[in-house]
Amino acid sequence: MTPEETAEDTTLEPSALTVEQIAPSTTAKKAPARKKTTPAKKTSIANNAIEDRKSRAADKAKKHSAILEVKQVSKRFGDLLAVDTVSFEVPKGSIFGLVGPNGAGKTTIISMISGMLEPDSGVILLSGNDIWAYPEGRLELGVLPDRSHIFDRLNAWQYIYYYARLHKVPDSVIKQETERILEELGLTEVANRPLLTYSTGMKRKVALAACIILPAKVLILDEAFEGIDPVSVKTLVGMLRDFVKKGHSVLFSSHDIELVEETCDSLAIVAHGQIQASGTMAKVRDGKRLTDRCYQATSGKVKRAV
């Protein structure tokens, strides 16, 4: 027998080879068993996802919580810069005060917001829409200008009906709300008299009543309580608070600092055509009396803090 024949034959048939012999370095390892997700854990994951969505929605709503935004608005009359790059926001469901001395620029600002005076620059947004680019949006405003003309040949009923119908308020709502408001203001007995027989304060109350019954997103009131007796002012403020509880907002200007401090949730101090401070009442007061803060602003002793 030759050496080749006596040597141990280590050759194996392919069919007899094991996995380890074919590829020992790439031997497959068992994959780890997949962990099963329990029903409780699935519920927890789902709840977390819902909370995340709610949180993102809340953040988004917070960013767009202002119903009215005034951004870098200016107005010049010849050489007079009446309003200089004014910016502030009116939150939804709030009463916002615009306070400052006579000649500060409050009425000019109000006129630009209400669509009666076009700004030279800047933008005014109502629900995110430019009121000058989309003038139909002004129907969502209820406006009471300073020293507004009133049709005094009409009686209180007729005036309120006329004003409300211009804003497309249904007849049934006008009748019901007018009865309620006139009674609360103590005008029921004189409601059928021509307005020319009314005092200045009584006419102002009728004009305010016409605004309050509107389904407006924002009421714009310029020196709304001028000439009205204190008892009626208190009644009207209560009506305005009921109005904002429905999700509407009120912007009113005044030089009556105490009234603004008692009535408003937030405000802006206007002086020399500029916003000297704006925000919540607590932020603007900054630990001081509002009268003192306004005095500082009008005397030029406070830096602008918007």
Per-residue model confidence as pLDDT tens digits over 156-181: 999 999 989 988 899 989 998 999 99
Q: Which amino acid is at 303?
A: K
Predicted local confidence at residue 295, as pLDDT: 84
* Residue 47 reports pLDDT greater than 90: no
Q: How far is CA 263 from the centre of its chain?
A: 17
Query: Is 80 exceeded by the pLDDT of residue 300?
Result: no
Report the DSSP beta bridge partners of residue 81: 76
For residue 17, the model assigns a pLDDT of 47
Q: How far is CA 112 from CA 48, 145, 199, in A?
A: 46, 11, 29
Distance of CA 212 to the CA centre of its chain: 18
**pLDDT on residue 22:** 41
Task: Please compute the mean of the pLDDT values over residues 271-292 and round it to a whole number.
Answer: 90
Distances, alpha carbon 66 to alpha carbons 25, 35, 126, 128, 222, in Å: 68, 48, 9, 9, 20
> What SS3 class is residue 75?
strand
pLDDT band at 19 (very low <50, low <70, confident <90, very high): very low
Q: At what angle do helices 171-184 and 156-166 cross, to 10 degrees?
A: 140
User: Taking residues 74-86, what's their average pLDDT?
Assistant: 94
- Per-domain residue ranges for the chain? 61-298
**What would the pLDDT profile of 186-209 be if each residue is shown by its tens digit?**
999 999 999 999 998 899 899 999
C-alpha count within 13 angstroms, C-beta hemisphere, residue 73: 28
Residue labelled with tokens 């960013």: 63
* 28 pLDDT above the threshold of 90: no
Longest dimension (CA), the chain: 145
Return the pLDDT at 144: 87
Asked whether the beta carbons of 226 and 208 are under 8 A apart, the reply is no
Cβ-contact 219, 250 below 8 angstroms: yes
pLDDT of residue 79: 92
The number of C-alpha atoms within 13 Å of 33 and in the hemisphere containing its C-beta is 3
Alpha-carbon span 250 to 94, nearest angstrom? 6
pLDDT tier at 42 (50, 70, 90 boundaries)? low
Reported pTM = 0.72
Rounded CA gap, 102 and 258, in Å? 16
Say how far apart CA 303 and CA 296 lie, in whole Å. 9
Give the mean pLDDT of 12-28: 47
The pLDDT of residue 15 is above 60: no
CATH 3.40.50.300 applies to domain 61-298? yes
pLDDT at 11 over 50: no
Q: What's the average model confidence in pLDDT over 216-225?
A: 90
Return the structure tokens found at 5: 């024949």
pLDDT digits (tens, 9 = 90+) for 111-126: 999 888 999 999 999 9
Average confidence score pLDDT of the chain:
81
pLDDT higher than 80, residue 217: yes
**pLDDT greater than 50 at residue 143:** yes
pLDDT tier at 296, thresholds 50, 70, 90: confident
